[in-house]
Amino acid sequence: MVIIERRPAAPARPPVRTRARRRRPWPTIVLFLAPALLLFGLLVLAPIVVAGYASLFTWNGFGVPTEFVGLENFRRLLVDEIFVGDLRRTLLLVTLSILIQLPVSLGLAMLLNQPLRGRRVYRLVFFAPYVLSEVVTAVLFTMIFSPNQGLANHITRLIGLGDLGATWLADPDTVMYSLFLVISWKYFGFHTLLYLAARQSIPPELHDAAATDGAGPWRAFRHITLPLLGPTIRISVFLSVLGTVQLFDMVWVLTGGGPIRSSETLAVSMFQEGFKRFHVGYASAFSMAIFLISLVFGLLYQRFVLRRDLEGAVTTMGDRR
Amino acid sequence: MKARHAALHLLSILVGAAIVVPILFGVLGGFKDNGQLFTNPFGLPDPWIPGNYTDILGSGAFWRQAGNSVGIAIATTVGVVGVGAMAAYIFARYAFPGRETLFTVFAIGLMFPFAVAILPLFVLLREMGLLGNPLGVVLPQIAFGLPVTIVVLRGFFRGIPPEVEESAVLDGAGPVRFFWRILLPMSRPALGTVSVLAVVGSWNNYLLPLIVFNDSRWWTLPLGVQQFQSQYSADTARILAYVTLAMIPALLCYAFAERQLVGGLTSGIGKG
């Protein structure tokens, strides 16, 4: 990942191996590791365990949960049309992202890889939305989609689609697509950048050789670029799916899950149940659903898809030095 | 070749416009009034009305929110980089039983969403009396930022040749001294990367401040923007001005740290 450019100064004395530090490493290990373990254990792991525990109770969040109901919350979840709808909507967004957002990002990365004047400016601009917070983005787009003064309707009227453009976030049939539009606006630059970085690390000799052999740009892309971008594409799909499963800020601010709960995501439902209705036990079941979906997807994906790519990061085991 | 070039340019300009137009709509819209927004959505403001911007800049609420965002981002970044670097140092250079398991737990933490922990976190922070306290935002942000920090820094620390450490030990430096005086200064690029990630993450966080801060005194910019939107829901131009002002720090920071951020994101994605 990272190459160190700075070389260490030659040792002033001959490098006599010493065991001074290795003799008593435990105090150092404990001293250096304790803060991270404490914070991570107390504020990340414990809450997730507590969420799992709370999901087995009917609980309003005050005092200690006492009304044990076992897996009843999960049984309810599976027949709750909100939950089933959340899953369906998540799947819709994932599908749209993989079929539209990521291919477009890939195309743009190929574009930016061409010798093009002002390439750096384009790169800077494409990526800019990524640094804006989801809330700021969502508020901006609420204004853009606003029925009267919003930009969106002005544009559709301008290109002669006036009647189509009235609803956007207000219509259950269009709200998810409007949402997808905003998500794409914010995140496609991020994926473009990943692809661009990967594309630029492909040695030019490969494409030169292909050109010498008479391969056109499409064949070179299909048989050289695409396979070599494989690891990056798989990572970008991974991040896109996880991001969608956990989506909250954008939806909460843009629509609040409406109209008539037609744009709710898992996290929005969790928030509604837990912080608005104080059904903390049931909300915890939503939390656990998000957790299990993320974890199972993440682990399966790593096991079967990323196995070849991720040497050294998340999956490194037993690689001691 | 010329035609192809022109087509490429056209396409890039179109995409660039799709990105820029919403932002420009916000910036220019803030200088219009609502009548102008309706009749003249695309053009420059005529006349320019700076009142929306000057009102907000003169109000104090905006500055307080920006200040809170800055303070929380700095505290989070210092915390997560410090604590994370210490842990990454151990994971990178000390062998002890259970190390890889422990590291894997942190690494899997990359996949733990905030939303899962938020309810029990809320209960926990309430018990600890940290609701309405910036620490209630900073500490969880540090905890959730640890995975990416540790993964990136461990990779970097491993690349530093062991001879450096050995010669430091020979010169009488203990592990704390080596860590503080040699390892950290040598790791500036990697520290920069994780710092930028921490700043961006903290700056954009919404859910945690939303549940922790009831009192507007501690609100961060994302909370302020949303609150402003519901307060002035009919006054589009005024909201656009607020959104624009809230975007400026992030965009400035991005323009300044672009290389670091981009390098960090593309290297931190787990290629080891």
Mean model confidence pLDDT for chain A: 84
Nearest CA distance, A254 vs chain B (angstrom): 10
Q: Does A282 touch chain B (CB under 8 A)?
A: no
Q: Please name the residues between 254 and 273 in chain A that touch chain B, using a CB distance below 8 Å.
A: 266-267, 270-271
Collect all residues of chain A within an 8 Å Cβ-Cβ radius of residue B62. none
Whole-angstrom Cα distance, residue B28 to residue B33? Answer: 10
pLDDT at A71 over 90: yes
Residue B115, judged by CB atoms within 10 A of its CB (0-12, 13-18, 19+), counts as buried
Nearest CA distance, A88 vs chain B (angstrom): 19
Q: How confident is the model at residue A285 (pLDDT cuts 50, 70, 90)?
A: very high
Whole-angstrom Cα distance, residue B28 to residue B45? Answer: 7
Q: What is the DSSP letter of A223?
A: I
**pLDDT single digits (tens) B111-158:** 888 888 999 999 999 999 999 999 999 999 999 999 999 998 998 899
Collect all residues of chain A within an 8 Å Cβ-Cβ radius of residue B143. 39-40, 42-44
Least CA distance to B85: which residue of chain A?
A32
Q: Does A64 touch chain B (CB under 8 A)?
A: no
Contact call for A108 and B15, based on CB within 8 A: yes
pLDDT at B70 over 90: yes
B198 and B77 Cβ atoms separated by less than 8 Å: yes
Q: Does B30 touch chain A (CB under 8 A)?
A: no
Provide the residue count of chain B: 272
How many Å separate Cα B147 from the centre of its chain?
15
Least CA distance to A40: which residue of chain B?
B143
Nearest CB partner across the interface for A44, out of B143, B156, B203: B143
Q: Name A58's bridge partners.
A: A67
Q: Does B78 touch chain A (CB under 8 A)?
A: no
Collect all residues of chain A within an 8 Å Cβ-Cβ radius of residue B163. 8, 11, 15
Residue pairs spanning A and B at CB distance below 8 A: 332
pTM for the predicted model, two decimal places? 0.86
DSSP letters for B72-93: HHHHHHHHHHHHHHHHHHHHHH
Predicted local confidence at residue B228, as pLDDT: 92
Q: How confident is the model at residue B267 (pLDDT cuts 50, 70, 90)?
A: low
Span A68-91, average pLDDT: 94
Predicted local confidence at residue A189, as pLDDT: 86
Angle at A296 between CA A291 and CA A302, to 5 degrees: 125
Q: Which of A105, A140, A183, A301 to mutate to test the interface with B (most CBs of B within 10 A)?
A: A140
Interface predicted TM-score of the whole assembly (ipTM), two decimals:
0.88
Cα-Cα end-to-end distance for chain A: 17
Q: How confident is the model at residue A79 (pLDDT cuts 50, 70, 90)?
A: very high
Predicted local confidence at residue B35, as pLDDT: 84
A259 cis-preceded (ω within 30 degrees of 0): yes
Whole-angstrom Cα distance, residue B197 to residue B207? Answer: 18
Nearest CB partner across the interface for A140, out of B22, B37, B179: B22
Q: Does A168 touch chain B (CB under 8 A)?
A: no
* Topology annotation, domain B60-271: MetI-like fold (1.10.3720)
Q: How confident is the model at residue A309 (pLDDT cuts 50, 70, 90)?
A: low
How much helix, strand and coil, in percent to the nearest 5, is found in chain A?
Answer: 70, 0, 30
**pLDDT single digits (tens) A149-197:** 778 877 877 777 766 666 788 888 889 999 999 999 999 888 998 898 8
Q: Does A235 touch chain B (CB under 8 A)?
A: yes
Whole-angstrom Cα distance, residue A220 to residue B4? Answer: 17
Whole-angstrom Cα distance, residue A52 to residue A120? Answer: 47
Nearest CB partner across the interface for B37, out of A133, A149, A271: A149
Report the candidate in A129, A189, A236 with the shortest Cα–Cα distance to residue B12: A189
Listed as own residue / partner, the contacts of B130-135 with beta carbons closer than 8 Å and 24 or more positions apart are B130/B212, B131/B212, B131/B214, B132/B212, B132/B213, B132/B214, B132/B215, B132/B218, B133/B212, B133/B218, B134/B68, B134/B71, B134/B72, B134/B75, B134/B218
Q: Which of B56, B90, B108, B119 to mutate to test the interface with A (most CBs of A within 10 A)?
A: B119
Predicted local confidence at residue A286, as pLDDT: 95
- The token pair that represents A274 in the structure block: 């837990």
Q: Is A67 helix (H, G, I), strand (E, B) or coil?
A: strand
For chain B, the maximum distance between any two Cα atoms, rounded to a whole number of angstroms, is 76
Q: What count of other Cβ atoms lies within 10 Å of the Cβ of residue A14? A: 6
Report the candidate in B92, B213, B113, B204 with the shortest Cα–Cα distance to residue B157: B92
Predicted local confidence at residue B265, as pLDDT: 64
Mean model confidence pLDDT for chain B: 88
CATH 1.10.3720.10, chain B: domain bounds: 60-271
Whole-angstrom Cα distance, residue B59 to residue B64? Answer: 9
Nearest CA distance, A173 vs chain B (angstrom): 23
Contact call for B116 and A309, based on CB within 8 A: no
A179 and A251 Cβ atoms separated by less than 8 Å: yes
